[in-house]
Amino acid sequence: MSVSIAQLAQALRERKISATDLTRQAIDAAQQCADLNALITLDDTGALAAAERADRALAKNVGSTLVGIPFVHKDIFCTKGIRTTCASRMLADFVPPYDASVVEQLAGVQAVSIGKANMDEFAMGSSNENSFFGAVKNPWDAARVPGGSSGGSAALVAAGIVPFATGTDTGGSIRQPAAFCGITGLKPTYGRVSRFGMIAYASSLDCGGVLARSAEDCAHVLTAMAGHDARDATSTNAPVDDYVSALTKPLAGLRIGVAREYLGAGIDAGIGAVVQAALKQYEKLGATLVDISLPNAALAIPAYYVIAPAEASSNLARYDGVRYGHRCTDPTSLEDLYTRTRAEGFGAEVQRRILVGTYALSAGYYDAYYLRAQRVRRLIASDFTDAFKTVDVIAGPTTPTVAFKLGEKSADPLAMYAADVNTVAVNLAGLPAISLPAGFSEGLPVGLQLIAPAFAEARLLNAAHQFQLATDWHARMPEGVA
Amino acid sequence: MSTYGAWQPVIGLEIHAQLSTTSKLFSGASTAYGAEPNTHTGLVDIALPGTLPVPNRAALDKAIRFGLAVGARIAPHSVFARKNYFYPDLPKGYQISQYELPVVAEGSLSVRLDDGRTIEVAIERAHLEEDAGKSLHEEFHGATGIDLNRAGTPLLEIVSKPVLYSAAEAVAYMRTVHTLVRWLGVCDGNMQEGSFRCDANVSVRPATSDKLGTRTEIKNVNSFRFVEKAIEYEIERQIRALENGEPIVQETRLYDPARHQTRPMRSKEDANDYRYFPDPDLPPLAVGADDIAAVQATMPELPEARRTRYVDALGLPEIDAAQLCADRATADYFEAVFAALPGEAKLAANWTLGEVSAALNDATLPIEQSRVAAPALAQLLARVREGVISGKIAKDVFAAMWAGEGDADAVIEQRGLKQISDSGALAAAIDAVLAEYPTQLADFRSGNEKLLQFFVGQVMKRTRGQANPQQLNTLLREKLKA
C-alpha cells in the first residue's frame, strides 16, 4: 500500500474503493503480519463500524482528506471502551471511559482506527523490547528491532498495513523508529498537539505526533491533530498553519545548518555517507549548507535521563492498585499492596526509571541532579536559539546506527540510551523535528533528521516533501510484506 | 507572658481555608459538601491515566483577594509543585500545591486581643493547593473505604510567621483570619465541615533567648476552643519536659479533644521526603496587573477599616463596633439600617446587636434571613425618633413584625399604639389621675418629689403606655406645680 493518503482519499471519493474495503484490507494485512507483533489490540468490529460511517459521509461527499483512511493509534492514547495498556501489565486490562483529544480529533475527521499499536512499556525504550506484550520486529529484518518507543506504529506503516499511525515522542520515540523502519515521522512542537488522554511518561517532554510514509501524508494527519485544547494547560493557542499548502514552496534560499556535533564520533560511517548524500541533494534543490555548532549537544543524554525519569517517578505514582489497573492478590497491608502491585505491574526498565527519578528528586540530591539538569536544558535550548539566528533548519542523522539486533542492547541500558543521542535535545528544547528516509546502509533504512524553530512544522514538512519529490527512498518497501 | 515563668512559647499557624468555588481546583467536578461518596469525582479527580489538571481561575481570584486584604505581595508568576507521597486517598500519588513560589507572600494582619492590645501578625505566605480525599475506616470490616469527593477541592493554606506568643494570641489571630475570609467571601468558614482548619507549630524557649526551640506540629484542629486547649497543653508539656531536662522531639502530634491532650503521630525520622518539584503539567500561574486590578475593584471595605470608621466617624463605642464587625452580614445590616436613619448610629447599633440579634438567636437564623429586614427596622426606629411610639412600645411592635404582622406602621395602626402627643388628650388624662390620687398630690406638693414617677406610671397606665414620655413629663410637671 505504497500509495499516498491523498491518492487513497481520491480513490474513496471516486468510489474506486470503499472505506469498508480499505479497512478490511488493513485488518487482513495486520492479521497476515501478526509475526511482527506490532498490534496489541485489533479492533475489527469498531473499525468496520467506523468505516461504514465513513462510507456514508463519502456518499454525501463531505469531510476532509482523512475520511475513511485506516490507521492505528499507539496504545498510549486512551480510547473509550477499548483497552489501553501502554504495553504494561499494570494496564493490561484497563478500559478507559474516555477518549484522548487526539483520538477524538481523528475520529472527528472520520479516519478509521483499526486498533492499538505495540510500544515500549509507558513509552520507555528505544527498541520496543520493553513491552509486556513482547518485542516488535522490524519489517526490514525480523531479527532487528523497529526502534522505540513507537515501534508498533512504525512497523505497521513500514509494512504497508496502514498509511499512518499516531505516536508519541519524549526523547525520539517517533523519529528513531521512523528512521529504523524507513518511514517519515514528525514530532511537533511541544504544546502543538494536546496531551489530554495521552498516558504520561515525562510531561514536559511528551509530544504526540505522526508516523507515515511521506511528509505529505504527515501534513494531512497533523492538520487533524494540531490545535489548542482547554483540557491541557500546556497546550498552545498559537495559530495552526496550513501544512498542506506549505508543502509546494520551492526550497531556494533555505539555509540548512549542519551541526558538527551530530556528525562526529559515534556515528556509523554508512549513516554519515547517506546523510552527506542527502545534504548534496538539498543543495541541488537550492538550499545552502551552513556549518554550525551546538556546543552543549553532548549534555543532552545525561540531562534527559535525569529529567524524564524524575517526572516519570511522579507520573507513575498513580498506579497503586487502589482504583484501577493491576492489583496484587490478597494484600496483607497497605505497604504490601503498593510494593507487590508495583513490582508485579511494572517491567524492569520502568522500575529502573522510577528508581532513578525518585533518587534525582530526593532531598539532598535534588539540586545536584534535577536542578542541574534543568539548567543544562536551558543551555541546550539556547544553543538552538542561537543556531536559528543564521539557519532555517538543522540537519543531521536521526540515529547513530541503523536498526540493531533484537537483544543486542537489552542487557546494557546505557548503550540503549545512547541510541537517543541525536533526538533527545529536540525534546529538551521543545522543538519540532522530522525524520525522513534518506537512503540505506547495510541494507537497512537510514533517517535524516530536520529540526526547526518552535511552530515551524510547515517549514519542516515543506523541506521534507521537496526532498521526497526528488527522491524515492520513502517509497521503498521491505520485501515480503503487504 | 509571665504565666509561663522563665519560658516563652512561640507559635505559628498554618490555616487551611477551603475556597468557596463551585468546582475543584483542577477539574470541573462539584465541591458541594455531603454528597454520596465518590459522586463528585471526574476523570481528573480519580487520576485516570492520561488526565491533566487545568487550574480554576476562580480559586486564583479568591487567593488574590485574600492577599490584597492582608497587604501581601501577589506573585506575577506562581508555580504549582508536586508533593509526592503514597496514600490511598491521594489518587495521583502526589498533591498539587505551591512550594517555592506561592501566589501570596509577605502580608500582615492586625489582631485585637481580649486584653485590649492589638498585635500585628506577619503572614509569611498563602498558597493554593488541592485537598486529598477521605479514608473511611468504619463500616468496612477491617478494610478502608475511600471517598474522593473532597479530592481536588481548592484550599488556601495561610502560613503565619512564628510570631504568636500565647495560645490566646494564636486563637485571636485564627478568629481574625476566620472573620476575614468569610468577610471577603473566599471561604464559608464552616469548621464542622472542615472548611476552615488549622495546624499549629509550637515551640518553647527561655524568655531570655531569641533562638527558636525545637517545634512540634499539632495537626488538623478544627475548632477555636480545641486550638486553644491543644496549644495550651502543648506549651505546658514542653515546659515540663524542658524543666526536667528532657529534649523536645521534632514530631507531628494529634490533639485528642476527649482528653484535652496531644499525642505523637509521627516523628521527623519517619517523615516523608516529599520530593517537591515544579508540576510539569502546569505552566507558571500568571497574574497581571489587570487581574489584580479586577479583584481590587470588587474588594469590600475590610473589617478593621470599618470598625475604625464606626468608632471615629459614627461615634460608636469600641465594643459595639467590634461586635458589628464580627461578620460582614451583621455590619452590612447595621449599615443599611443606619443609611435609612442618618444620625442615629447608636440607635441602629443597639437594635442590631440587641433585639435583632436576640430574635435571630432564638430562631437560629443568619442575619441575611432576618424576618425583619434592615429597611423595616429603620422604619420602626424612625417612628421612635419621630415620637410616634416610645422605645418600649417599639419592642412590642418589633415582636409583632417578627411574627409577620406587617411593617411598623401597619402594626402601630392595627394595634392602636400611636403615642398620645395631643396635649389636650394628655392634659385630660393627667387631670383624671391627679383627681384620683389627692393624697399623693398633696404629698408631692409638700416636697416629696419622688412621687413624680408614681404619677408618670399612672398616666402611662391610663394611656396604655401610649403617652409621649417627654410631653407627659413637661405637662405633668406644670400641672403638679400649679
Domain positions in chain B are 2-293, 301-415, 423-481
Name the more confident of B442 and A8.
Answer: A8
For residue A72, being part of any structural domain is answered with yes
Cell matching residue B324? 458589628
Which residue is catalytic, options A4, A173, A194, A235?
A173
Q: Rounded CA gap, B255 and B183, in Å?
A: 29
The verdict on residue A367 lying in a domain is no
Please report residues of A whose CB lies closer than 8 A to that of B277. Answer: 310, 314, 361, 366, 370
Dmax over CA atoms of chain A, in Å, equals 70
Does A98 sit within 8 Å of B43, measured CB to CB?
Answer: yes
Among candidate residues A149, A150, A194, A235, the one labeled active-site is A149
Look at B275 and A366 and tell me if their CB atoms are within 8 Å: yes
| pLDDT tens column, A210-242 | 999 999 999 999 999 999 999 999 999 999 999
The reply to whether A324 touches chain B by the CB within 8 Å rule is yes
The predicted-structure confidence for A416-426, as pLDDT tens digits, reads as follows 888 888 999 99
Cβ–Cβ gap A311/B273 under 8 Å: no
Identify whether B2 is preceded by a cis peptide bond (ω within 30 of 0): no
**Structure confidence at residue B390 (pLDDT):** 82
Q: Does A464 reside within a domain?
A: yes
Q: Which CATH number fits domain B423-481: 3.40.50.300, 2.60.130.10, 1.10.10.410, 3.40.50.720?
A: 1.10.10.410
Q: Catalytic: A149?
A: yes
Residues 197-226 of A with CB under 8 A from B: 197-200, 202-204
Question: Is residue A260 a part of any domain in this protein?
Answer: no
Can you tell me the mean pLDDT for A72-84?
98
Least-confidence region, from A80-94, A342-356, A433-447, B259-273 = B259-273
pLDDT at A1 over 60: no
Angstrom CA distances, A109 to A53, A68, B80, B107, stand at: 11, 9, 36, 53
What is the rounded distance in angstroms from the CA atom of residue A12 to the CA atom of residue A6?
Answer: 10
Tell whether omega for the bond before A18 is within 30 degrees of 0, i.e. cis. no
State the pLDDT confidence band at A376, using cuts at 50, 70 and 90: very high
Judging contacts by C-beta atoms under 8 Å, the chain A residues touching residue B281 are 200, 203, 233-234
CA-to-CA distance for A92 and B41, rounded, in angstroms?
24
Instruction: List the single residue in A with minimal CA-CA distance to B46.
Output: A323
Q: How far is B54 from chain A (nearest CA, A)?
A: 6
Contact present, A216 and A247 (Cβ < 8 Å): yes
Condensed to tens digits (0 to 9), the pLDDT of residues A299-351 reads 999 999 999 999 999 999 999 999 999 999 999 999 999 999 999 999 999 99
Q: Which three cell numbers stand for residue B440?
A: 399623693
DSSP single-letter state for residue A200: P
Among chain A residues, the shortest Cα distance to B38 is held by A323
Determine whether A333 is an active site residue.
no
Q: What's the CATH number where A165 sits?
A: 3.90.1300.10
Which three cell numbers mark B413? 395602626
Nearest to A362 among B51, B93, B273 (CB): B273
Could you read off the pLDDT of A23-50 as tens digits, one per residue? 999 999 999 999 999 999 999 999 999 9
Nearest to B280 among A97, A204, A338 (CB): A204
Q: Is B10 left (phi over 0), alpha (psi -120 to 50) or beta?
A: beta
Q: Which residue range forms the structural domain that includes residue A18?
A: 5-249+432-475
Whose grid coordinates read 524515492?
Answer: A472
User: What is the spatial distance between Cα B336 and Cα B342, in angstroms, rounded to a whole number?
Assistant: 10
A173 has catalytic annotation: yes
C-beta separation of B352 from B325 below 8 A: no
pLDDT of A481 = 61
Q: How far apart are CA B273 and CA B458, in angstroms?
A: 82
Q: Which residues in chain B show pLDDT less than 70?
A: 1-2, 267-271, 421-422
- Do the domain assignments include residue A149? yes
Instruction: Give residue for cell 504494561.
Output: A88
Is there a domain that residue A406 lies in?
no
Is the residue at A109 inside a domain? yes
> What's the structural domain count of chain A?
1
Strands B134-136, A393-397: parallel, antiparallel or unpaired by DSSP?
A: unpaired
Residue of B nearest to A232 (CA): B52
Q: B275, A358: Cβ pair inside 8 Å? A: yes
- Mutation target for B interface from A320, A327, A333: give the one with most B CBs within 10 A: A320
The answer to whether residue A176 is domain-embedded is: yes
